[in-house]
Structure 1
């Protein structure tokens, strides 16, 4: 066998071995992936889909399942036990679940809240066999064993102690604490939890449990109370008379008649006229429950997530606190207020912040110029020194004005090279039409301020990637008048030139521009030149609302608009000197400027 044949044989053998080793691994990986994708999970919710606590838990759980890309295997059912919770109903529900899911082999079940857990403890084995069942948001099992058939439970552990301690501190004259509760299984468990911590709260306060009253009796009891009393509302959906209530109705009704603030410990009870407290989030329990269930299904050890899921925030309704005369200073520093009206700064930050920046920049300019003038007076001994100082002042003005233009352009995500290019284009055009050196210097220094008025335009409008609405476009057009107002405080040649440019650079040769509708030579020559330079550079460069145009398309547009948008003489001069224009573009390309495409 030749060396060439031996090498070819070795190469083919190596490839074959790699294929033989790779195929089984690929099949195994695919099989494992398919195994994960084939998981079937049932979420059984104790309450209805219109109950925000259940909705929050559902969203939290689905956020985990969606991330694992198995959302198409999730089945969801609602017991709606807040509306109906009898043995007869449970039997009907069992028949429905048998009919609906009898042919499905579930890998695990997530139960939200107590009623779903108890129902599954009683019927899950007959329905689904022996599978992992994880319950989340469970009350009343802090020191008790879980019901039979429940693999794991994440306990709710409402922050009764923290909320009631804050209530006692705020209501320092209180002698009575009324626990407002309904007759559901959940409320019974919560009352038991509160009874276990009574002695930790205060020996001076008597606790009263109003859980055996009709809705009307409860309203009357609270309305006749004292402003010094403490009212703590548990989730309330069914009164002693058997009447069911939509979420929030009882809280709103009690808040209207209560002589004292009502404290709560669940976030779904907020924005109902209640004051607040250390509240729990259903979303957290949904996330923790789904995560733990997947661990159970995949044979991983499940850690105790009870405390992790019991993350609570101290939240107070600002409007309710004010209604009861409670000052914000009465609350701890870690309080989170809702319904707090925005401050003046919050309301106007989009205008105030840019305004503050422009004032700071202008002040800096004035301070620097003042220092330069003072320096000029000190060293004004010889004409040569004076000349050097004047040149230094002019250079400083040029740099400061350019810097100011760059800052303004950066608000619309433009680089500083944009204003440098516009300044150089403008000077070149001015040279070709015969402007004096003094006018050329003024034009070059003033043109970077053409968009100074944009400092007063909100970012949302300035950087909108979509076509502006008529209202937003009207707001955007105001930047020309704003620019004039900013620069009208001085008649020095530089600022006067900048003022003409800022105010008139959106006027059109045919009179259809804004803000004054000037036409032809009514428009200042500086503004006409800057307009042409600015439009050319804007079309040639990428913006938030468009891609960069090729040079051929840009030049065709300039020729088309000659005599309409632009001064026709300036367009002619501009195109005749396009090679020098390209040189300026290359010199000031920057890191975001697109490559120059050849015309034609």
Structure 2
């Protein structure tokens, strides 16, 4: 029984990490359901905020974006067909969450989510109906309302134009516009001195003419204004704002930022881009992912005072009369600001030139003295390096003549060691040094009897003990020389048979106790030996060699170096082809 429990626990520990890893790697699928079409700038900005936020998350998130286009077509038949379309397009259980923008999309989900998308978390943004009944989806739905701040904008219009007592509200019969119109009429009761007139039955051209003749005792408020849908005429926000403001004698206030820049004055507006970002931030808590970086141009909130500079100037509004922290768009740039890059670069160049002149002057004063000392030092260094390299070359030739099995082996080890060091991102000076000294890894074999070196069969335990002494003999031989080159070569000779797991020889070093040069040399030495024919074995096929390195990764060899070697193994094969036996 105890053995059975141990076996079960072993399987749990073995497969639990794999299942967790699979869960971590599973992409998150999010349905984005927009009430309106992508040509609608409000909707486009929400989607932009969503997309730019998703680009910053730490999970693989896939968006499926759908547009109901309910400003052009609506009704129960259409909604039923749209539901059928979604069911055919997406399999049951495909999505992990839903984002809905504006009222029509949320109403669609209130009616259908429990049957079509059960239990999925829902985030709804840009919702105008403050008293919406979420019914059965309330527990799993987070709503971010689009509050149009009608009272705040009416106060703004009165503070800027106190003598104007007539307010024209331009709206259409869309669901959102009806909600805004109803709330506007209610909130306007706070201002008994104002007269509100609803304009909802004029074409865009007629509305343009109306505003051109409007008296200077009035202001206008613009919501949605597509009044010609039955005639097949649909206008985007920019077109509506441009036409209405082109000949208007009165200022036009708006509730949404995307109207601004097309000739309207502005107001306390909603920012749909920020609502898109907020929807992803909300889902990050529900689906356990993180937005790693601040999303570009993310405002502090999704509402604020925004005005068009040209229209502020047109109606002679003093900037000091605008609310605190108002944003001004389309403001003309000053000469200094417009040319700030050129001015900055020019100033920087002047400073740099002055710095160069000063440093060059100091450098010239020192140059003569430094040149004299440098020449002498370089001569001494070059002489020392040449002596050490000559000694290594002599020892290398001695090894080749001592053992017939080394042949071009030491040359290949030199090139392969340098390559692996470069892939490991050692400094250039180090991997160049490694190319010089790695051929000395077996220099101690000079002291091993030829009968053992050339033995075709398996070595006896006594012979194995003798041949293992070549590491210590090589170390002692190379340590007799002075300088960095000989010291490093000695470490390779001593440690290239140590193992990562501490079961090597002669000192049973393990892990990073083994010098990096020795760890690199050990990998390429074994690789080249296995791939080569020896008196005691045939050359191994590449597949068998690769399998061995996979098995010994983290046991005989440094795991990181081993993986790096395996990832680039064909580069090492090329070196063998360049220096064949």
Counterpart in the other structure of 1:256: 246
SS in 1 for 2:55: helix
The whole-number CA distance in structure 1 between the counterparts of 2:94 and 2:264 is 45
In 2, Cα distance between the equivalents of 1:353 and 1:295?
Answer: 43
In the TM superposition, 1:80-479 aligns within 5 A as 80-103=69-92, 105-141=94-130, 143-146=131-134, 148-149=136-137, 151-200=141-190, 202-239=191-228, 241=230, 243-297=233-287, 311-350=302-341, 407-409=351-353, 416=355, 419-421=358-360, 423-425=362-364
Alpha-carbon distance between aligned partners in 2 of 1:425 and 1:310, rounded to the nearest angstrom: 59
Separation in 1 of the partners of 2:324 and 2:95? Answer: 48
1:11-68 alpha-carbon deviations (Å, 9 max, x no partner): xxxxxxxx9997566335414414xx34322111111122222122112223343333
Distance verdict in 2 for CA 1:184–1:70, change over 3 Å: farther
Q: Deviations over 1:178-210 (max 9, x none)?
A: 11111100101111222332133x221111122
- Change in Cα spacing, 1:21 to 1:96, as seen in structure 2 (3 Å) is closer
Q: Which residue of 2 aligns with 1:39?
A: 28
- Report the equivalent of 1:510: none
Q: Which residue of 1 aligns with 2:486?
A: none
- Call closer, same or farther: CA 1:109–1:351 in 2, change over 3 Å: closer
Unaligned stretches of 5+ residues in structure 1: 1-18, 300-307, 359-404, 411-415, 433-549, 551-600
Contact kept? 1:183, 1:238, Cα under 8 Å: yes
In the other structure, the counterpart of 1:466 is none
How far residue 423 of structure 1 moved from its aligned partner, in angstroms, is 4.6
Structure 2: 5+ residue runs without aligned partners? 1-9, 290-298, 372-428, 430-581
TM-score of the aligned structures, taking structure 2 as reference length: 0.54
Cα offsets for 1:400-438 (capped at 9, x unmatched): xxxxx8x3348xxxxx57742455338868xx9xxxxxx
Mark the CA change 1:31 to 1:244 in structure 2 (over 3 Å): closer, same or farther: same
Provide the alpha-carbon RMSD of the alignment: 3.7
Shift of 1:139: 0.2
Larger Rg: 2
Contact 2:114/2:136, CA 8 A, preserved across alignment: no
Measure the CA separation in 1 of the matches of 2:161 and 2:53: 42
Per the TM alignment, residue 268 of structure 1 is displaced from its structure 2 partner at its CA by 0.7
Q: 1:182 to 1:219 in 2, by over 3 A?
A: same
SS at match of 1:271: coil
User: Residue 102 and residue 30 in structure 1: after superposition, are their counterparts in 2 closer, same or farther (change >3 A)?
Assistant: closer
User: How many Å separate the matches in 1 of 2:192 and 2:224?
Assistant: 26
Distance change (3 Å), C-alpha of 1:310 and 1:354: closer
State the Cα distance separating 1:103 from its structure 2 match: 4.7
Q: Matched residues in 1 for 2:108 and 2:348: separation?
A: 64
Could you say if the C-alpha distance between residues 139 and 68 of structure 1 is closer, same or farther in structure 2, counting changes exceeding 3 Å?
A: same
Q: Given that residues 28 and 60 in structure 2 are in contact (C-alpha distance below 8 angstroms), is that contact kept between their aligned partners in structure 1?
A: no
Q: Distance in 1 between matches of 2:270 and 2:44?
A: 14
Describe the shift of the 1:24–1:187 C-alpha distance in structure 2 as closer, same or farther (beyond 3 A): same
TM-score normalised to structure 1 length: 0.52
Cα distance between partner residues in 2 of 1:240 and 1:213: 12
The alpha-carbon deviation at position 334 of structure 1 amounts to 1.8
Does the 8 A contact of 2:30 with 2:61 survive in 1? no
CA contact (8 A) 2:54 2:61 kept: no
Distance change >3 Å, CA 103–CA 341, structure 1 → 2: same
Matched residues, number = 354
CA contact (8 A) 2:47 2:276 kept: yes
